[in-house]
Structures are given as C-alpha cells and as structure tokens.
A and B are shown apart, each in its own frame.
Chain A
Amino acid sequence: MSELRSILADTVTRLFTDRVTKDVLETAEQGQWPAALWQALEESGLTLPLVTEKQGGAGGTWGDAHVLLAAAGRFGPPVPLAETIIASWLLSESGLEVPLGPLTVAPVHRGDVLRLERGSGGWRLSGTARRLPWGGSAGHLVVVTSPDGPASGARAMVALVAAGHAQVTPDHNLALEPRDTLVFDNTPVLTAAPAPPLIPGDIVWLCGALARSAQMAGGLESLLAQTVQYAGERKQFGKPIGSFQAIQWQCAILGEQTAAAASAAASAFSAADRSGPAEATFEIAVAKSRTGEAAGIGAGIAHQVHGAIGFTYEHSLHFVTRRLWSWRAECGGESYWAERLGREAASRGADALWPYITSR
C-alpha cells in the first residue's frame, strides 16, 4: 500500500468510527444534513482524492479513492462522498476549478437527457435529472452532457452548476438517502469545458457503477463482521448459535460473497488506474454485477442469522442492508451489466473467452 493510501485508510476509518454514529444516521434519515460530518471529511482532506494537489486535492489514484469508498460502504455515512469524488475528478480532468462543499453528479439515469446550449452570456442547461443523490443538498452539481445523448461517441461537455438554480422535487431511496429530481430550464452554468477524450458521455453512469461496487463490497464487510459477531454472542439451546453448523455455513457463504465482491471491486479500480474508467467497462461491469449479486445474498443471510432483532429499526443492521438493496439497483442492476458482458462475450466469440479474461 502506498503511503497516501494507508494514511487515507487510517484517517477515514477513524473519522467514520467516531462520527458515523447511530444518532447521526438516524437524524440524517429524518432529513437533516450532517454538516459536522461533512466538514470533518473536508478538513481531513478525504473528499477530493482524485483532484491534483495543485487544485487542492490529494493527487491520488482510483485505488486511493477505492479505500475511501469501501469505508463509506462499511459505515454508510449519509453524505455524497462517492458523488463528490466523481464530480471533483470530472472537474479536475476538464481543467475546471473545484468548489468547496458537497457535490453531486448528473445524469445518473440512462435516458435522462441534459442539454447544454451557449446562449447570451454563457452556457445554459436544460432538462430533467431524475433522482440525483443529494441533488437538493449538494452545493454544486457537475453535469456531463454529450450533444447527441449519452451513448453517442461525440465529445462530451462537463459543466458546473450552482445549487439553487433548479426546480427540486425531493425524494429518497430505501435507505432514506436523498434522491432528488432536478429540473433545469435554461439555467445558467458557472463554468463549462469540453471533456478530455477519455471521458465519454456515459462517464457518470460508469463511475457511479464503479463507486457503488466499492460501497457494496464495503457494506458486505460490515454485514460479515456484524453477523459473525452476533453468531458468537447470541445463545439458544444453551450455546452460541454460531456453534450450529447451519449457522456456520451461512456465515461461510456470507464470507465467500464478501470476498468475491471485494475482489471484483478492487479489480475494477485497478483497471480504472491502468486505463481510465472509460476503458475499464469490462471490469466495471463485472464488479457491479458481481457485487450486486453478493449484496442480495449477503443481506438475506445477515438478516436470517440475526433473527427478529435484525428486522427492527432499533437494530443497526438495516443501515447496511437497506443501502445494499438500493445501491445494487443504481447505475445498472446485475442483469443490465450481465447483459452487456454477455453480448460482448458472444460477439468476441467462444474461443476468445479465455484469452480475453487473461488479457484484462
């Protein structure tokens, strides 16, 4: 591990252990922005891992960002850390200045079309961005548009929009994380620039899938730790339930799924470092579909082992499982990414399967 990475890992783990308390999670679920938590993250330099040092970031790699996102998955801090990491990277890559405060990114749904037009006095944004993470509470929004829709090959544009200029319809996901719909109507943007060639129109979708993979893998680690601990403590029939083979095997399967998710996610971040996220679609597709599958299996096992207590709002298991159920559906569910992988495998042909896997 590089020096930066181990500093980030230690700092983020300490910070989340101290600050992502049950109280913070619960008040955030009631709609309150955890300002102190965000401030602490910013002051510790954890929000801009991919921004160059010159621009005020940590000058790190995707592998460094991975450490932060996996921790975000383990602890579930109710702030747009993943979104800020992606948004600030997009700004930095496009040579735009990175503002302070929480950021979010758009569009996160396929089919959402945002149009950037040069009007009198600068660029203006129009269109609807559905269910943006922290769309209503982030200070700024980073939008990636391409002239002919997200899938076209044409050069994308990256634009920075200040909050408060859109019409906001608040909503949230199952985990009560904000997912707000924003409507822009000829809204002025602060700055805009053409994205560098390695940033395609669907970059937000790709990076979102990458980030959610790491978060889900982290969430599974937390489920495994909680479940193994509970199995060792809870007694029935005069002994810990973890002494029953049936429970041991459930924990073993949870361990396997956790390990598979962690490997798949790590491999995608490493590919992103090798060639940029846009050239790592294979690994991202593998990671998102594999971690999503693991999330469903893992959440089921964790609840089964916890019995009725884990089914209550009082117990904290649900802070992870509700996130997993939401995250696995965001930026493409398992079947979306599997279908892409399957079509690509079919078009490469049977004899290319193994050479392709080993060349990645």
Chain B
Amino acid sequence: MGAVGTFRFDLCTLPPEAEALRGEVREFLRETLGDMPPVKRARSWGGFDREFTRTVAARGWIGMTWPRRYGGHERSALERYVVLEEMLAAGAPVGAHWIADRQSGPLLLRFGTEAQRERFLPAIARGELALAIGMSEPDSGSDLASIRTRAERVDGGYRVNGTKVWTSNVHRADYMIALFRTRVVPEKKHEGLSQFLVDPKSPGITIRPIIELSGAHHFNEVVFQDAFVPEDMRVGEEGAGWKQVGAELAFERSGPERYLSCLALLVELIRAAPADPGERMAVAIGRLVAHLATLRQMSLSVAGMLQRGENPNLEAALVKDLGTNFEQEIPEIVHGLLGCEPTARGSDLQQVLGYLVQHAPSFSLRGGTREILRGIIARGLGLR
C-alpha cells in the first residue's frame, strides 16, 4: 500500500494581482450586464454577443497571456483564470471570443506561421474575430482520427471535399479551424491529417443550420464542395494535425467552463430556499456547495499547472468528468427537491431549469464524451 503518483492536485493560491483583477471584472460585469435575467445567464458561453466581446477586449481580457507583439497582454495564466471564472459565474455572453481565446489563439501561437500570428492574433485580442472548430464529421465523432474530409493539393493550396458537422457558431464566425485529411495512409488513420484556417464564406462551402432539441440554432453542418483553401492558411506542418489537435483539445478541457454550466440553477435554488430551508433542502444544497468548492480548487490546481508550464492532461480529464457530472446532477436535484415544471416562462427558477435540463445532456458530449474521458483517465492510471 503506497501513494500513487499518477495525478497531482497541488493547492493553488491566487496571487494578489489576480484577486485585485477579480474586483475589476466584477465591477465591469455589474455595469455591463446590469439586470440580465437568470435564464440568459444560464446560457453562459452559449451566449454570442459581439458587442460584449469588443468591450471585454477593450479591457484587455482576451488573449491575456499572449505576447504583446501579437496584441496580447502578457498576463499570467492565473489572472486569465480569474477573468474566465468570473465571466462564467456571472453568465456573461462570452461565446463570440470563447473558442478563439481558449484554443484557436493558443494553437496559432504554438503552431501557426509568423504571418498567421500577426494577422489573426491581434484581431482576436481586439475581439473582432470569432472562430469555430471543424473537427467532427457525420461518421467521425469520438473516433476523430477516422475523418474523411479530403484536402488535396492543387496549385497554390488545397481543394477540399467532405462534410463537417456539429460545428458550433460557424454561421456567425469569421474563421474556422478545420481538420482535414491531406494524405490517405492505409491502416494509419492518425497520419496524413492537417489543420487549416478556413473562411466559412468562401465559395464551395455551404452551411446548414442544425436545430437543437430546445429549438435553438447553435451548431451546423458544413459541406465542402471543391472549396479552395490557400497554402498559407495551413496551420502547422502537413500531416502534423493529429498531434496539434491533441494539444488543442487539452486547452479545451482545462478551463473552469466544465463545472460551472449549471451554477445559475444552483443560485436560483438557493434563492428559492426559505430562510429555514429544512433539513432535506439544506443537505442537498450543502452537498452541492461542497462539490462546487472542491471542483473549484481542483480546477484552480489545473490552472496552477498551466502557469508553471506543466502538462495537466490527466488532471483536466479528471476535473472535466467530475465537473460535468456535477453540472448534470443539479437539474436532477432541483427537480427532486421542488418538482416544479421546467418551463420557458414561469419563475426565474423554472426558466433556468427549463433551459438547463434541455442543455445538460450536451455537457458530457462536447469536448470529448464522458466515455472517452474515462478512457483517457484509465490510460493515465496505467490501465491501457
């Protein structure tokens, strides 16, 4: 019987400058969001508002950790963490910059050409460029390496044919970073993949809305028919796509958005509780508070690892799986306690419940399904 050294969650204490920033962000959100109704706040990073994004950018809160010469602000990963968690906790409509700030920007910073960095990063940091992610395809979800959309070399670039699906916000994005097959290597599906910056408005690209079960339009199907992508829009080496996507997904999984999606509902539950909530409700709320506090500590530890330049892949997968379970439990617990009907109108609580009960199933699908994450964790523990 001994200690296992497979994952580490060292406590991370935020430095004073990060805590000072928290005050600024709260003040900003109070002013900007005003009395935004709870059901809007429940949308969290599902909310897309370019004007809001530009205001956030003007405060220097997009691309916070990037070098100044690319429009960044050279602040610490922990300062960035505080901004993110405050935005999420307030339910700010951060969707127009979330993807670019979280994964596309860091991807370009790491693998992009100098020209790509100079062109795209400052525009992202100004809040002017919304990005989308084109990875999934109709026949390739969890088995991402099996994608078939082909990018064939032609004069000056690539000709693309195939279909991407579930592409969030591409109908309002300025660019998408897509994963295509540039070479077919039999029996080796992880080889021959490459990433590209694609302008979704280029000829040969058709975007069709896919309506979610709630009636909302958020993701899309993107069909490529002889679409042209210039050579200089390839991100990284040809054939290095799989490695790059792995790094990108690690950025995607490591943030606080994987446990806070139902915070708005917990807040409304507490608002609905009487001054003496009674034992049953107090126990349920208290248990959620304990989970929330613990997940925040864990998420903060991951941020601490990023700040120290360590690789938190396993830790991020652990937090995401625990976090999405927590998020998905909240609507169930609220239902169990109150039994009130989830509705589109009704009280704030009913509306938030109505929105979240319909969106909760996606929390353990997006960014890698629960089953895939558990496989990553098992491998990290040495089982695969």
User: Which residues from chain A sit less than 8 Å from chain B, CB to CB?
Assistant: 13, 17, 74-75, 221-222, 224-226, 228, 231-232, 242-243, 245, 247-249, 251-253, 255-256, 259-260, 262-264, 266-267, 270, 282-283, 285-286, 289-290, 293, 316, 320, 334-335, 337-347, 349-351, 353-354, 357-358, 360
Measured between beta carbons, the chain A residues less than 8 angstroms from B373 are 252
Minimum distance in angstroms from B356 CB to a CB of chain A: 16
Asked whether, in the complex, the Cβ of A290 is within 8 Å of the Cβ of B383, the reply is no
Pick from A13, A259, A354: contact of B298, CB below 8 A.
Answer: A259
Q: Does chain A have a CB within 8 A of B156?
A: no
A293→B286 CA distance, assembly (Å): 13
Measured between beta carbons, the chain A residues less than 8 angstroms from B267 are 350-351, 353-354
Measured between beta carbons, the chain B residues less than 8 angstroms from A242 are 378, 383-384
Measured between beta carbons, the chain B residues less than 8 angstroms from A347 are 275
Asked whether, in the complex, the Cβ of B270 is within 8 Å of the Cβ of A290, the reply is no
**Interface size class for chain B?**
35 or more
- B259-299 interface with A by 8 A CB criterion: 263, 266-268, 270-271, 273-277, 279, 281-287, 289-298
Pick from A221, A249, A282, A343: contact of B282, CB below 8 A.
Answer: A343
If A231-B383, A320-B1, A358-B85 touch, does A339 touch B286 (CB 8 Å cutoff)? Answer: yes
Asked whether, in the complex, the Cβ of B287 is within 8 Å of the Cβ of A338, the reply is yes
Chain B: CB-nearest residue to A17:
B2
Measured between beta carbons, the chain A residues less than 8 angstroms from B285 are 338, 341-342, 345-346
Measured between beta carbons, the chain A residues less than 8 angstroms from B2 are 13, 17, 74, 222, 225
Pick from B271, B277, B384: contact of A342, CB below 8 A.
Answer: B277
Q: Does chain A have a CB within 8 A of B371?
A: yes
Among A249, A266, A285, A334, the most chain B Cβ lie within 10 Å of the Cβ of A249
Measured between beta carbons, the chain B residues less than 8 angstroms from A338 are 282-287, 289-290
Asked whether, in the complex, the Cβ of B374 is within 8 Å of the Cβ of A286, the reply is no
A75→B6 CA distance, assembly (Å): 18
Measured between beta carbons, the chain A residues less than 8 angstroms from B257 are none
Asked whether, in the complex, the Cβ of B381 is within 8 Å of the Cβ of A228, the reply is yes
Asked whether, in the complex, the Cβ of B322 is within 8 Å of the Cβ of A340, the reply is no
Q: Does chain A have a CB within 8 A of B28?
A: no
Q: Does chain A have a CB within 8 A of B335?
A: no
Asked whether, in the complex, the Cβ of A335 is within 8 Å of the Cβ of B283, the reply is yes
Measured between beta carbons, the chain B residues less than 8 angstroms from A351 are 267
- Known contacts A263-B298, A345-B285; 15 additional CB pairs below 8 A are A228-B4, A247-B383, A249-B375, A252-B373, A255-B318, A256-B321, A260-B294, A266-B297, A267-B293, A282-B293, A283-B293, A338-B285, A340-B282, A346-B282, A354-B89
What does DSSP make chain A's interface, helix, strand, loop or mixed? helix
A13→B270 CA distance, assembly (Å): 44
Measured between beta carbons, the chain A residues less than 8 angstroms from B290 are 264, 285-286, 289-290, 337-338, 341
Chain B: CB-nearest residue to A265:
B294
A264→B13 CA distance, assembly (Å): 14
A316→B291 CA distance, assembly (Å): 30
Q: Does chain A have a CB within 8 A of B377?
A: yes
Measured between beta carbons, the chain B residues less than 8 angstroms from A340 are 282, 286
Asked whether, in the complex, the Cβ of B4 is within 8 Å of the Cβ of A221, the reply is yes
- B155-185 interface with A by 8 A CB criterion: none
Minimum distance in angstroms from A331 CB to a CB of chain B: 15
Asked whether, in the complex, the Cβ of B270 is within 8 Å of the Cβ of A255, the reply is no
Measured between beta carbons, the chain A residues less than 8 angstroms from B22 are 358
Asked whether, in the complex, the Cβ of B287 is within 8 Å of the Cβ of A334, the reply is yes
Chain A: CB-nearest residue to B378:
A248
Minimum distance in angstroms from B59 CB to a CB of chain A: 19
A159→B50 CA distance, assembly (Å): 66
User: Would you list 30 pairs from A and B whose C-beta atoms are within 8 A, ordered by A residue?
Assistant: A221-B3, A224-B4, A231-B383, A242-B378, A243-B384, A245-B371, A248-B383, A248-B384, A249-B378, A252-B373, A252-B381, A260-B298, A263-B11, A264-B290, A267-B297, A283-B293, A286-B293, A289-B287, A289-B290, A290-B291, A337-B286, A338-B285, A338-B290, A342-B277, A343-B276, A350-B268, A353-B289, A354-B89, A354-B267, A360-B293
Chain A: CB-nearest residue to B321:
A256
**Nearest 5 CB-CB pairings of A with B:** A342-B286, A341-B286, A342-B282, A338-B286, A248-B378
Asked whether, in the complex, the Cβ of A256 is within 8 Å of the Cβ of B377, the reply is yes
- B300-341 interface with A by 8 A CB criterion: 301, 315, 318, 321-322
A360→B294 CA distance, assembly (Å): 11
Minimum distance in angstroms from A115 CB to a CB of chain B: 30
Measured between beta carbons, the chain A residues less than 8 angstroms from B287 are 289, 293, 334, 338, 341-342
